[in-house]
C-alpha cells in the first residue's frame, strides 16, 4: 500500500513538477510549515548605523501566477530565490538565466493572488479541475481556444467576478502557504532578505468601449514578518480601497503590511486620479489610509518608467525615457494624466494647499515584474518577462521577422504586431535600493516605512540625498560626511520642516562598479504650480548658473560594438541650494542620477543578430536612479 | 499543500490511479467489451471526492448526476478509442508520457547512501560546501573625481604618515566614502561586488598586518588598506553539512535512476525517421 500512496503523491506532485527541467523544489514542498531560519534579534555582521545600500527586486512571478503558467513558466518560488542568490536557472524557452551583477540582497515573489496555483492543478491529469471544459481548452493545442480560456480567467481577475468552478480556496490557500514557506526558508538574516508577498491584480473595466483594455491598478502587498493565511484578492473586491481596509485589519491583528502600486503609466490615468475608486471626492481619511498602506510606488520596471511623460514635462530633456503607454494586453493607449509620479507629487501639493491633505506623499522603488522567476536587469543580457511569448529576439522585435535583414517590410502578423506594440518598447529595468542598518526583514521594512529608498533602471548605482539647515560646502571633504548628513538633516523620504531659512541639500551618487560611469546628478523640484530640473553635479565642470545644466561631457557609444566612448565619473556629489527657493511654498525635491549613454537591449540584440537596430525605439539610453523625495514644509 | 497531506486524498488518488491503470489495461485487452462496470469502490471514490469538495455527503440526485457523467465519459472514451481517436493526439500522448514518467520515477526504491558515497560526493562538490574566504579591513579613500592627477601622490603621502610613528587617525584622512570605512569578515565575493573584482583579488593576496598597504585601485578610485584579519575558504566538514550532502546525493541518484529507466524504455523501441540519414 505504501508504494501506492507514494505513487499517488507523485501523481499529484505532477502539478508541482516541470516535466522537462529537474525541479529541486520537490523535496522542500513536502516539509511542514517552516518558520524563518532564525529571527534577527541580534545585530548581524554587516550592521552600520550610517546605513548600507541594499539592492533587490520586489516583484517576481512564478508558475503559481495564472498568466506565468500560460507563458510556460514552471519554476517555483524556491527557484526564484535561488536565482537571486546567483544560481543559474533555465528560461522557459530553454536558455540559461544568471543574474547580472551578482547576487541580490533581497528578493520577493509576488504571485498574482487571484487563482493562485490553480492553473497547474487544471493542467494535472486526474484532478477535478483538469476535467473542466475551461481546462481542456486552456491546455489544448488550439490557439484560439487557449486564448479564449485564458482571457476568460483574465476577465474574471479584472472584474472580480469569480469563476466558481475554478475558485478552489483550499488550493489557493495551500499555494499561498507554500510561497510563505519558501520566503521563510530562504531568509538568511544578514545575508539575504525575503518577504511573504503577493500581487493584487486590479484592472478597471472599460464598459463604454466594450473592450478588454482597462487601467492597471495592480499593487504588490508585502508583510514585514508573519503573513495571514489568506491573501485579499480582486476576487474579494477589485477596489484597492477595500484592500487597504483589509490591510488595516491585518495590521491590527499584528500582520504589518504595505502595498506598492506599479505601472501607473498604463493605469489609463486611474492610479493617481483625483477621485476615489467609485468617483467620490478625495478626503483626509482617504489620504491617511492611502499613505498608511502605500508609502511607496514602483516607478520603473519592464513595462516602462512612470516618472514623467514628455507631454507633462516638456522642459525636461530626459523625460522621454522608456515610455510605455499600451494598456495591458491591448494596443490601446493609456491616458497620460493621472499616470505619472511627478504629476502626482504636484497634485498632492495642490491638494495639501487647497484642502489640507496629500494622498501622494510616497517614496520610490523599482522592480522587474519578471514572470520567469528571474529579472533581466542588464541591457546586454536581456530576456524580457513573459516566458515563451517573448523569449527570443524576434518575438520581442529586436531583430526582423524570419530571415529578413532589414526593417522595411515587416509582415502583418500577430508576432510582429505584438513585438511592435508591446515587447520592443519594454525595458531592462529595474532594482530597488534601500538604506538600511542591516540586511534583515525588520531593517529593510523599516526603510520602506521611512521611504529611505531609491529606484534604479537596472544598474546598482548608489545615491544618498539629505536636506538640512546646517550643512556647509566644505562638509563634502569631511571623512564623516554621512554621519554629519544624518545628524544635521533628514534623508530621502523625510519631511523637512521650515525654520524661515533656506535649506541646503546634499546629493551624492556612486556608480555601479560593474556598469557605466556617471554623467550628472540632478535635483527635480516640484511645487503645486510647476516643476524644474537642476543639474547639481557634473562629470565635467559645474552646472551653468543660468541654465542649470552641465556642459556636454562628450560621452557616447560606439554603435559598432556598443562600447562606451568618453569618460564619466565614479562618484558625483554636491551641496546645493535651490536658487528659486520660496520659504513659504511647499516643495517636493528628489534626485535623478544619469549614467553616460549605453546601448539599449534592443541594440545589443540587433548587433548580435547582425541586423540594423530597430528604427522605432531608441538605440541608446541613459540608465538612471531616482530617489524618494524630501518634502519641504513651510513653518506655520 | 494542506490537501496534499490529507491521507484521504492520498487514498482516493491512489484508488483513482489504480482504476485508471486498470481501465487502460482493460480497454487495451478487450476493445470489444461492451460492459461498463461501476464497482462499489468506484462509487465510494466519487462520493469521497464529492465530500472533499462540497464538504457534505452527496445526495441521491448528486450521486445519480455523477454516475451519469462518469458513464458518459467512459462510454465516449471507449467509443473514441474504438475509432482510433486516441492515435496521433498530442495531448493524450503527452499525458500518457507524463504519467509513465511518474510511474517510472517511483519504480525503484531509494537507495540509501553509504558513508563512502557521501564522502566522495562531499569532496567532488567541495565548492558547494565551502565557506568563502573573508577579510576584515579598514580603508582610506582617494577620489580621482575630486583630486584628478594628484590622487596617487596624495595617497602615497598619506600612506607614509599612516605608517610613521604617532600616525593620525585614519578615519579623518582621505575623501569621504559613501559606504563603510571598515568592514568585518566580508566575504570576497561580496567585496568584489562592492568594489570590483580587481580590488578584491589584490586584497586577498595582501598579508595581514597592522601596517597600511596600497594604494589599491577600485572601481571608485584609490584606497589605502589595513587588512587586520583574514580567513581562508574552508570546506565545511562532512559532519556539519551531512544533511545537505545527503539530500544532494539522493536527488542526483534519483534523477540518474529515473533517466536510466526512461532510457531503458526508449531502448526497447526501434526508431525510424523517414527521410532521415
Tens digits of per-residue pLDDT, A316-352? Answer: 999 999 999 999 988 999 999 999 999 999 999 999 9
Same domain, A262 and A378: yes
Q: What is the pLDDT of residues A177-234, one digit of tens each?
A: 999 999 999 999 999 999 999 999 999 987 665 566 789 999 999 999 999 999 999 9
Task: Report pLDDT for A523.
Answer: 98
Chain A residues within 8 A of B174 when measuring between CB atoms = 479
Q: Which residues pair with A521 in a beta bridge?
A: A537, A593
Nearest to A45 among B9, B174, B185 (CB): B185
Chain A residues within 8 A of B195 when measuring between CB atoms = 513
Residue A126 is assigned to a structural domain of this protein: no
Same domain, A625 and A558: yes
Residue A2 is assigned to a structural domain of this protein: no
Count how many domains chain A has.
2
Chain B residues within 8 A of A102 when measuring between CB atoms = 189, 192-193
Same domain, A552 and A614: yes
Of A452, A423, A428, nearest to A321 by C-alpha is A428
Chain A residue with CA closest to B169: the answer is A479
The answer to whether the beta carbons of residues A620 and A569 sit under 8 Å apart is no
Q: Which residues pair with B137 in a beta bridge?
A: B183, B227
Question: Nearest CA to CA, how far is A257 from chain B (Å)?
Answer: 24
User: Cell match 462510454: residue?
Assistant: B75
Residue of B3, B47, B145 for testing the chain A interface, max A β-carbons within 10 Å: B145
Task: Report pLDDT for B109.
Answer: 66
Nearest to B101 among A19, A140, A479 (CB): A19
Judged against a pLDDT cut of 90, whether residue A588 lies above it is answered with yes
The answer to whether the beta carbons of residues B97 and B224 sit under 8 Å apart is no
Q: What is the pLDDT of residues B12-65, one digit of tens each?
A: 555 565 556 555 555 554 545 678 888 888 888 888 877 766 667 888 888 888
- Which range, A7-16, A199-208, A242-251, B234-243, has the best average confidence (pLDDT)? A242-251
Nearest to A10 among B11, B106, B181 (CB): B106
Nearest to A570 among B1, B106, B219 (CB): B219
Same domain, A248 and A338: yes
The answer to whether the beta carbons of residues A373 and A25 sit under 8 Å apart is no
Mean pLDDT, residues B194-216 taken together: 92
The contacts of residue B205 (CB under 8 Å, 6+ apart) are: none
Nearest to B10 among A8, A168, A177 (CB): A8
Q: Do A464 and B178 touch (CB under 8 A)?
A: yes
Give the angle A629-A370-A79 at the CA atoms, nearest 5°: 120
Residue A17 is assigned to a structural domain of this protein: no
Same domain, A350 and A491: no
Task: Report pLDDT for A6.
Answer: 35
Same domain, A474 and A377: no
Residue A132 is assigned to a structural domain of this protein: no
Domain that holds residue A604: 462-633
Same domain, A469 and A380: no
Give the angle A295-A300-A301 at the CA atoms, nearest 5°: 115
Chain A residues within 8 A of B181 when measuring between CB atoms = 479
User: Looking at A402, A436, A470, which one is the last position of a domain?
Assistant: A436
Same domain, A217 and A333: yes
Same domain, A332 and A473: no
Cα separation of the two ends of chain B: 49
Using CB atoms and an 8 Å cut-off, which of residues 96-135 of chain B contact chain A?
98-99, 101-103, 105-106
Chain B residue with CA closest to A124: the answer is B95
Cell numbers at B271, concatenated: 526508431
Q: What is the pLDDT of residues A286-318, one digit of tens each?
A: 999 999 999 999 999 999 999 999 999 999 999
Give the β-pairing of A587-599 and B182-187.
Answer: unpaired
Q: Do B189 and A29 touch (CB under 8 A)?
A: no
B24 touches A at CB < 8 Å: no
The answer to whether the beta carbons of residues A78 and A185 sit under 8 Å apart is yes
Residue A542 is assigned to a structural domain of this protein: yes
Q: Give CA–CA dist A573/A588, Å, rounded.
A: 20
Judged against a pLDDT cut of 60, whether residue B1 lies above it is answered with no
Same domain, A430 and A501: no
pTM: 0.79
Mean pLDDT, residues A619-627 taken together: 98
Q: What is the pLDDT of residues B32-47, one digit of tens each?
A: 567 888 888 888 888 8
The answer to whether the beta carbons of residues B114 and B238 sit under 8 Å apart is no
Q: Give CA–CA dist A630/A452, Å, rounded.
A: 10
Same domain, A382 and A529: no
Question: Nearest CA to CA, how far is B172 from chain A (Å)?
Answer: 5
Residue A78 is assigned to a structural domain of this protein: yes
Question: Nearest CA to CA, how far is A632 from chain B (Å)?
Answer: 24
Same domain, A65 and A205: yes
Question: Nearest CA to CA, how far is A5 from chain B (Å)?
Answer: 6
Give the residue, A169 or A206, on which the prediction is more confident.
A169
B55 touches A at CB < 8 Å: no
Residue A608 is assigned to a structural domain of this protein: yes
Please state, rounded to an integer, the average pLDDT across all residues of chain A: 91
Mean pLDDT, residues B81-103 taken together: 79
Question: Nearest CA to CA, how far is B115 from chain A (Å)?
Answer: 22
Amino acid at each position: 500500500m505504501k508504494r501506492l500512496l507514494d505513487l499517488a503523491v507523485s501523481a499529484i506532485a505532477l502539478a508541482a513538477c516541470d516535466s522537462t527541467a529537474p525541479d529541486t523544489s520537490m523535496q522542500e514542498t513536502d516539509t511542514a510549515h517552516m518558520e524563518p531560519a532564525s529571527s534577527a534579534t541580534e545585530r548581524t555582521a554587516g550592521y552600520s548605523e550610517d546605513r548600507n545600500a541594499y539592492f533587490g527586486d520586489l516583484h517576481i512571478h512564478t508558475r503559481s501566477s495564472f498568466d506565468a503558467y500560460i507563458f510556460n513558466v514552471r519554476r517555483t518560488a524556491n527557484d526564484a530565490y535561488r536565482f537571486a542568490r546567483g544560481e543559474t536557472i533555465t528560461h522557459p524557452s530553454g536558455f540559461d538565466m544568471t543574474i547580472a551583477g551578482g547576487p541580490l540582497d533581497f528578493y520577493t515573489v509576488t504571485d498574482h493572488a487571484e487563482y493562485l496555483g490553480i492553473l497547474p492543478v487544471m493542467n494535472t491529469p486526474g484532478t477535478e479541475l483538469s476535467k473542466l471544459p475551461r481546462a481542456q481548452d486552456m491546455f489544448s493545442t488550439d490557439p484560439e481556444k487557449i486564448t479564449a480560456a485564458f482571457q476568460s480567467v483574465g476577465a474574471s481577475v479584472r472584474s472580480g467576478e469569480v469563476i466558481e468552478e475554478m475558485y478552489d480556496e483550499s488550493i489557493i490557500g495551500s499555494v499561498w502557504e507554500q510561497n510563505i514557506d519558501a520566503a521563510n526558508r530562504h531568509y538568511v538574516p544578514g545575508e539575504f532578505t525575503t518577504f511573504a508577498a503577493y500581487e493584487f491584480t486590479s484592472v478597471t473595466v472599460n464598459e463604454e468601449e466594450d473592450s478588454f483594455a482597462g487601467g492597471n491598478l495592480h499593487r504588490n502587498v508585502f508583510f514585514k514578518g508573519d503573513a495571514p493565511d489568506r491573501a485579499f484578492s480582486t476576487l474579494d473586491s477589485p477596489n484597492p480601497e477595500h484592500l487597504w481596509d483589509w490591510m488595516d485589519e491585518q495590521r491590527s491583528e499584528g500582520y504589518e503590511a504595505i502595498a506598492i502600486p506599479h505601472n501607473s503609466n498604463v493605469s489609463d490615468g486611474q492610479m493617481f486620479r483625483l477621485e476615489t475608486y467609485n468617483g467620490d471626492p478625495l478626503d483626509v481619511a482617504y489620504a491617511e489610509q492611502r499613505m498608511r498602506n502605500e508609502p511607496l510606488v514602483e516607478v520603473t520596471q519592464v513595462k516602462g518608467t512612470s516618472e514623467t511623460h514628455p507631454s507633462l514635462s516638456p522642459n525636461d530633456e530626459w523625460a522621454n525615457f522608456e515610455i510605455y503607454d499600451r494598456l495591458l494586453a491591448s494596443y490601446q493607449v493609456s491616458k497620460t494624466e493621472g499616470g505619472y509620479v511627478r504629476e502626482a507629487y504636484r497634485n498632492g501639493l495642490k491638494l495639501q494647499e487647497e484642502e489640507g491633505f496629500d494622498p501622494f506623499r510616497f517614496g520610490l522603488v523599482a522592480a522587474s515584474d519578471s514572470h520567469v522567476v528571474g529579472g533581466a536587469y542588464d541591457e546586454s543580457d536581456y530576456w524580457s518577462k513573459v516566458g515563451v511569448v517573448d523569449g527570443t529576439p524576434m518575438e520581442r522585435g529586436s531583430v526582423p521577422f524570419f530571415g529578413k535583414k532589414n526593417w522595411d517590410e515587416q509582415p502583418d502578423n500577430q508576432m510582429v504586431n505584438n513585438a511592435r506594440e508591446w515587447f520592443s518598447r519594454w525595458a531592462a529595468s529595474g532594482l530597488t535600493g534601500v538604506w538600511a542598518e542591516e540586511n534583515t526583514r525588520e531593517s529593510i521594512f523599516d526603510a520602506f516605512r521611512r521611504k529611505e529608498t531609491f529606484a534604479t533602471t537596472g544598474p546598482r548605482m548608489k545615491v544618498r540625498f539629505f536636506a538640512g539647515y546646517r550643512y556647509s560646502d566644505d562638509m563634502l571633504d569631511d571623512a564623516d560626511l554621512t554621519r554629519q548628513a544624518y545628524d544635521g538633516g533628514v534623508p530621502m523620504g523625510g519631511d523637512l520642516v521650515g525654520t524661515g531659512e533656506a535649506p541646503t541639500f546634499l546629493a551624492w551618487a556612486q556608480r555601479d562598479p560593474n556598469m557605466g560611469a556617471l554623467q550628472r546628478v540632478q535635483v527635480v523640484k516640484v511645487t503645486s504650480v510647476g516643476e524644474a530640473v537642476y543639474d547639481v553635479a557634473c562629470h565635467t565642470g559645474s552646472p551653468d548658473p543660468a541654465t542649470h545644466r552641465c556642459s556636454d561631457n562628450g560621452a557616447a557609444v560606439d554603435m559598432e560594438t556598443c562600447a562606451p566612448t568618453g569618460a564619466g565619473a565614479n562618484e558625483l556629489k554636491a551641496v546645493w541650494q535651490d536658487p528659486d527657493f520660496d520659504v513659504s511654498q511647499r516643495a517636493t525635491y528628489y534626485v535623478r542620477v544619469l549614467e553616460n549613454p549605453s546601448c539599449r537591449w534592443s541594440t545589443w540584440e540587433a548587433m548580435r543578430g547582425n541586423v540594423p537596430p530597430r528604427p522605432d525605439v531608441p538605440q541608446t539610453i541613459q540608465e538612471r536612479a531616482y530617489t524618494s523625495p524630501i518634502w519641504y514644509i513651510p513653518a506655520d | 499543500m494542506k490537501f496534499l497531506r490529507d491521507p484521504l486524498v492520498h487514498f482516493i488518488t491512489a484508488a483513482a490511479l489504480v482504476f485508471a491503470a486498470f481501465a487502460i489495461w482493460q480497454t487495451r485487452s478487450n476493445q470489444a467489451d461492451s460492459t461498463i462496470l461501476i464497482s462499489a469502490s468506484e462509487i465510494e471514490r466519487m462520493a469521497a471526492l464529492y465530500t472533499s469538495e462540497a464538504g457534505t455527503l452527496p445526495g441521491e440526485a448528486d450521486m445519480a448526476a455523477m454516475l451519469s457523467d462518469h458513464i458518459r465519459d467512459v462510454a465516449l472514451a471507449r467509443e473514441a478509442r474504438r475509432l482510433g481517436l486516441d492515435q496521433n493526439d498530442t495531448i493524450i500522448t503527452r499525458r500518457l508520457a507524463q504519467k509513465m514518467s511518474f510511474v517510472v520515477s517511483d519504480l525503484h526504491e531509494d537507495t540509501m547512501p553509504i558513508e563512502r558515497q557521501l564522502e566522495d560526493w562531499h569532496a567532488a562538490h567541495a565548492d558547494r560546501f565551502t565557506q568563502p574566504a573573508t577579510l576584515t579591513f579598514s580603508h582610506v579613500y582617494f577620489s580621482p573625481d575630486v583630486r584628478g592627477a594628484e590622487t596617487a601622490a596624495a595617497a602615497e603621502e598619506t600612506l607614509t604618515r599612516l605608517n610613521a610613528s604617532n600616525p593620525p587617525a585614519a578615519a579623518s584622512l582621505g575623501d569621504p566614502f559613501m559606504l563603510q570605512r571598515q568592514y568585518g569578515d566580508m566575504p570576497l565575493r561580496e567585496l568584489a561586488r562592492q568594489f570590483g573584482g580587481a580590488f578584491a583579488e589584490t586584497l586577498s593576496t595582501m598579508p595581514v598586518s597592522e601596517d597600511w598597504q596600497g594604494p589599491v585601485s577600485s572601481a571608485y578610485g584609490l584606497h589605502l588598506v589595513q587588512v587586520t584579519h583574514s580567513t581562508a575558504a574552508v570546506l565545511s566538514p562532512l559532519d556539519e553539512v551531512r544533511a545537505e550532502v545527503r539530500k544532494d546525493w539522493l536527488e542526483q541518484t534519483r534523477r540518474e535512476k529515473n533517466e536510466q529507466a526512461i532510457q531503458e524504455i526508449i531502448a526497447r523501441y526501434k526508431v525510424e525517421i523517414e527521410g532521415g540519414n
